[in-house]
Structure 1
Amino acid sequence: MGFTGLHVYGMTLPMKPMSPIYQDQLPTGSDIGYQLKWDGVRSLAVLSEGNVTLYSKNMLTQNAAFPEIVALLQKQFPSGNLLLDGELVMFDTVLQRPDFKRIQQRVRSKRVVSTESQYPDHQPMYVVFDILHENGLDWALEPFQSRHQRLNELLPEKLPQLFVTDLFLNGDLLWDWVEERQWEGVVSKRLTSRYHEGKKHQDWWKRKTSILREVDIYGITIREGRVASMVMVSDGDYFGRVSLGLNGADKEQLMAYAATHPASSAPFSPLPMDLKKEHVLWLSKPLSCEVTGLEVTPQGVLRHPKISRKPKI
């Protein structure tokens, strides 16, 4: 395939892992397969004679943050050379879906959080969905369906922390399942496609469900003397700003509320970069509202937020 990234253990990695292209509808056809979109952190696993290195999509090593996965892959593949592609995931056993915030905390801390060792359900999983190299064979040149079949031969059993994600042929049924359970979305893949770097292809696509989240409003940004947006906080962390869904009357009410409920400082420190140049009126008594969005970014903010239930003032 001629990847252009790092050269590790005699294998060349892609500069960027193959990434699905966003679109509003699922593609259809006899040549399309469908998989769950796991809400986690992308990871390439490079294995050589018992040595394992995990790489992020930006080619940064992840071993320090995920020693359990390193140890599990070493045990599963004690010999030979492999290059796998997958997603590191933390699972919420109550909601029965991946918890992106928890995996993000692990990545940011670059270590195992001390409390996680006490709770088995807090352990990370490596969900594998592609194979690029195996003992000198360039699997990236083979059709995706063949690559998926080979993965199932290498990992026939679904271990609690290591397994191959399933491949479905009925996209509509999978999408209904995802919407009902509020998972992130569905990835559609051309079964005959080879593995390409980044988004230089027309073979993989992603469709995402909307995220629905209850948030606290701890401040409002002011531009030219008027309310521009509301500052959102979720579970104590900055969650971005939202303005879509506010009308003129809403903004006047927010301005009046801020005047009667002022706070001297932000509820978090340090101040997020995108707020440092903003004029923010902080609230001593936060407001509650409900918002929707496309996804939570790696920075922990909601992408394309929209108000679905306005705050009661």
Structure 2
Amino acid sequence: MAPPPPGTLWSPPSIAPMMAVPGPLPVPDSDWAFETKWDGVRCVLSTTGDGSVRLTSRNGNDITVTYPELQALGGELRGRGVVLDGELVVLDASGRSDFGRLQSRMGVVNARRAGRLALDCPVHLMIFDVMYVDGLLLLDAPYGERRETLSALGPSGAHWSAPSYVHGRSTQVWEAVMRGGLEGVVAKRLSSPYAPGTRSAHWRKTKRVETLDVIIGGWTQRRGAAAGVPGAVLVGVTGPSGLRYAGSVGSGLSEREQSELTAYFTVLARSTSPFTDPVDVAGAHWVEPRLVAEVTASEWTRTGRLRHPVWQRLRPDLTRLD
């Protein structure tokens, strides 16, 4: 697509991001493209051609002031009116996204503070789609054509890039993601249009999860249930100094399992925390650390907590009730 005449100003539309549905990798995979799933926050970037940049969140909030290091992208795209879709991340030394560090950047509305944080903890925008270029809406264009347009724009800088995708070969892509310790894979139909604000089956996300055994050391009351019924369990892992707190797990617990745990907790109740480190959880109840559970999580946070933990099952083969 040829650049517009110098001095042209555009009025790019406000476009809500298209979202993926969770699910397994597609089989067969010949009609699909595969991208790395980055652990960050969604960002839609638009330019008017005069060098300025506007950033909006997935919910449509203006976050331009929060990430000043992305303003330079407006200079690279000067003269072009575009709307781009991507993920804001903070990369560690190995090139993996670090959500814990990104959290220090989120929600900052003071320009001076945002500028300081941009120097200490810069973000990187992973651009993976383009929905508008120089007055032309690309929503009906297939994904493959939109990616060709994005490639022609050539956004590449210290704080932004447009990582390539892989056509087919889902098994190899998944193995590479596992080896690299990345969050997962997003599969996109090559023929898919861009559907603003919708969660479309044309895009599918598959997340890497870690399965591990944890020890239950406490619980919190289930809201609206009878007294003694747990809504979440407080879990830990054994460390050099004892049982280290790893987080609260409530997602995935069935009513049958809650009832079973209620009976166990009555027998195992204690008055003090079995964890060696502080547990800042309101309304915590403590139990003897004898029950072992299997949970899944996306990763460990920098503070040693499980991220997105989900209950799988109690492990009676590892549990000690004697």
Give the partner amino acid of 2:233.
M
Question: In 1, distance between residues paired with 2:210 and 2:134?
Answer: 41
Q: Secondary structure at the match of 1:98?
A: coil
Structure 1 residues 227 and 140: alpha-carbon distance in aligned structure 2, compared to 1, 3 A threshold: closer
Number of aligned residue pairs: 285
**Counterpart contact for 1:126–1:162, Cα < 8 Å:** yes
Give the aligned partner of residue 119 of structure 2.
117
Q: TM-score, normalised by structure 2?
A: 0.71
Which structure's CA Rg is the greater one? 2
The alpha-carbon deviation at position 144 of structure 1 amounts to: 1.1
Deviation sequence 1:260-292 (CA, Å, 0-9, x none): 4259xx8438x5xxxxxxx5315899x998741
Greater shift after overlay, 148-157 or 108-117? 108-117
* Closer/same/farther in 2, CA of residues 36 and 150 from structure 1, 3 Å limit: same
State the TM-score, normalized to the length of structure 1: 0.73
The alignment's C-alpha RMSD in Å is 4.1
Aligned twin of 1:5: none
The aligned runs of 1:50-129 (5 Å cut-off) are 50-69=51-70, 71-94=71-94, 96-110=95-109, 112=114, 117-118=119-120, 122-129=121-128
Q: Say whether the 8 Å CA contact 1:242–1:306 is kept in structure 2.
A: no
1:13 offset after TM fit, Å? Answer: 2.2
**2:198 equivalent to 1:199:** yes
The Cα shift of 1:124 comes to 0.5
Equivalent residue number for residue 280 of structure 1: 284
Name 2:6's counterpart in structure 1: none
The structure-2 alpha-carbon separation of the partners of 1:257 and 1:196, relative to structure 1 and needing over 3 Å to count, comes to same
Change over 3 Å in CA distance of 1:289–1:261 after alignment to 2: farther
Residue in 2 that maps onto 1:268:
280
Counterparts in 2 of 1:116 and 1:237: CA distance versus 1, 3 Å: farther
Alignment of structure 1 residues 292-303 onto 2, 5 Å: 292-293=296-297, 302=308
Code of the residue aligned with 2:162 in structure 1: it is V
Query: Hey, what's the Cα distance between the residues in 2 that align with 1:163 and 1:260?
Result: 53
Q: Percent identity?
A: 25
Determine the structure 2 residue equivalent to 1:163. Answer: 161
The aligned runs of 1:135-284 (5 Å cut-off) are 135-155=134-154, 157=156, 159-169=157-167, 170-199=169-198, 201-211=200-210, 219-222=218-221, 224-225=227-228, 227=230, 229-231=232-234, 240-241=249-250, 244=253, 258-262=269-273, 267-268=279-280, 280-281=284-285
290, 297, 310: which one pairs with 1:304?
Answer: 310
Counterpart code for 1:175: W
2-side partners of 1:155 and 1:136: how far apart? 18
Query: How far apart, CA to CA, are the structure 2 residues paired with 1:308 and 1:117?
Result: 46
Post-superposition offset of 1:40: 0.8
Q: Is the 8 A contact 1:233 1:240 kept in 2?
A: no
Provide the rounded CA distance (Å) in 1 between the counterparts of 2:72 and 2:313. Answer: 43
Unaligned regions of 5+ residues in structure 1, if any? Answer: 1-8, 272-278
Name the aligned partner's letter for residue 308 of structure 2.
Answer: L
Gaps of 5+ in 2: 1-9, 238-243, 301-305
Q: 1:13 to 1:105 in 2, by over 3 A?
A: same
